Amino acid sequence: MSPQPRQLVLPFAARAPAPGRPGGVALERRGGVELVEMTCRSILNWVQGSRASDFYSINPYRGCEHACAYCYARYTHEFLDQPGSADFERRVYVKVNVPEVLVHDLRHAKVYEHGISFGSATDPYQPAEHRFRLTRRLLEGLLPFRGFSLSIVTKSALVERDVELLAELASRHELAVLFSCMTTDPVLQRALEPRASAPERRLQAMARLSAAGVHTELLVAPLMPGLNDGEEALGRLCRRAREAGAVSVFGQALFLFEASRRRFFSWLEQHRPELTEPYRRAFARSRELDREVRDELSDRLTRAAAAAGLGAGRRTVR
Ligand code: SF4
């Protein structure tokens, strides 16, 4: 019989969340990106049977301005009647009521039994966080508790802003900050992830958090044959992460849902046309690479990690 969840005693009053609605009020327009208000009914979303073990995900923003060409989460905009995958990075929904919704959700979730992951779909420290600070407010909402298993996945150095808060959370909860970084090559990074932080900035942020006592890990996602899977490149990345205080590394091979496939192949045609045909063949029958290819990518990363003194990291989806 599974143990009963411990009673969660809220240190402050919980209000029932406002009814969810997709919104439509533009909060800000800049540089071709529109930030649109959205309210939601729930912010702790149960993720079951995925690549990672069961957990609750928290994504305060829908869409992501970082605009990574391979991003698997593009399909999430299709549920909002936004079929163009470019809308994913040009119209970002800001879930303005999530701090109060979290208080309500925590009453009903089994948060002592399952982890909470920030950013399993979209980046919680993407540029909108500068102004709206929703991720920060959600993290502050977890401060009064103890003993949760928390993880944050990001490609942004903005996480450094919250170093004191994260160090405080780490003293109360089991916290890991996973820096998603697929290369140290600034040219490749810029081409594939045009508005995410540069690799060096991410590694600096990682070093700052590690020095403050926050557990940090490297997430090499995605691993893409012919682009970032060279032994030398992976070795360099693992060594830099180790120097920045990372404890472990985990890799994720590229997989392509339909919305991501269109965008990724258009990127290949523009930037690496010689790889277009091999990738078409590799993804002809499945959204995943063949098992042997995935195993080879995993083995390469494992060798690079071992040489750098990094352990094996946790499984995650992004
Ligand atoms: S940072 Fe993550 S969520 Fe944002 S576009 Fe890149 S892969 Fe997608």
Residue 241 φ/ψ, nearest 5 degrees: -65, -40
Ligand 1 in reach of 68 Cβ (< 6 A): yes
Residues in the chain: 318
Q: What tens digit of pLDDT does each residue of 77-99 get?
A: 766 655 556 789 999 999 999 99
**HSE (CB half, 13 Å, CA atoms) of 265?**
16
Of the chain, the percentage scoring pLDDT greater than 90 comes to 76
Ligand 1 atom nearest to 70, measured from its CA: 7
Specify the residue with its C-alpha closest to ligand 1, atom 6: 68
Question: Has this prediction a pTM greater than 0.85?
Answer: yes
CB 219 within 8 A of CB 154: no
Pocket test for ligand 1, best of 61, 118, 123, 158 (most atoms within 8 A of CB): 123
Q: Which pLDDT does position 15 carry in this prediction?
A: 39
**Per-residue confidence (pLDDT) for residue 63, from 0 to 100:** 95
Measured by CA distance, the residue closest to atom 8 of ligand 1 is: 71
> 151 CB less than 6 Å from ligand 1?
no
Mean pLDDT of 204-212: 98
The residue to which tokens 């977890």 are assigned: 142
Range from 186-190, 259-263, 266-270 carrying the lowest mean pLDDT: 259-263
**DSSP labels, 127-173:** THHHHH-HHHHHHHHHTT----EEEEEES-GGGGGGHHHHHHHHHHS
In short, whether 155's Cβ falls inside 6 Å of ligand 1 is: yes
Q: Which pLDDT value is given to residue 19?
A: 43
Please name the helix (run of DSSP H) or strand (run of DSSP E) that holds residue 38, with its range, or none: strand 33-38
pLDDT at 8: 44
Interval 49-87: pLDDT, tens: 655 578 899 999 999 999 999 999 888 876 665 555 678
122 Cβ inside 6 Å of ligand 1: yes
Ordered by where they begin, the domains of the chain are 26-254+292-312 (3.20.20.70)
Each residue of 217-235: pLDDT tens digit?
A: 999 999 999 999 999 999 9
Q: In the predicted model, what is the mean pLDDT of the chain?
A: 88
The minimum-distance atom of ligand 1 relative to the CA of 155 is: 1
11 pLDDT exceeds 80? no
pLDDT tens digits, one per residue of 106-155: 988 888 888 999 998 999 999 999 999 999 999 999 999 999 999 999 99
Q: 67 in ligand 1 pocket by Cβ < 6 Å?
A: yes
- pLDDT (tens digit per residue) in 176-205: 999 999 999 999 999 999 999 999 999 999
* CA gap 304, 218 in Å, rounded: 12
Q: Is 255 helix (H, G, I), strand (E, B) or coil?
A: strand
**d(Cα 73, Cα 279) in Å, to the nearest integer?**
20
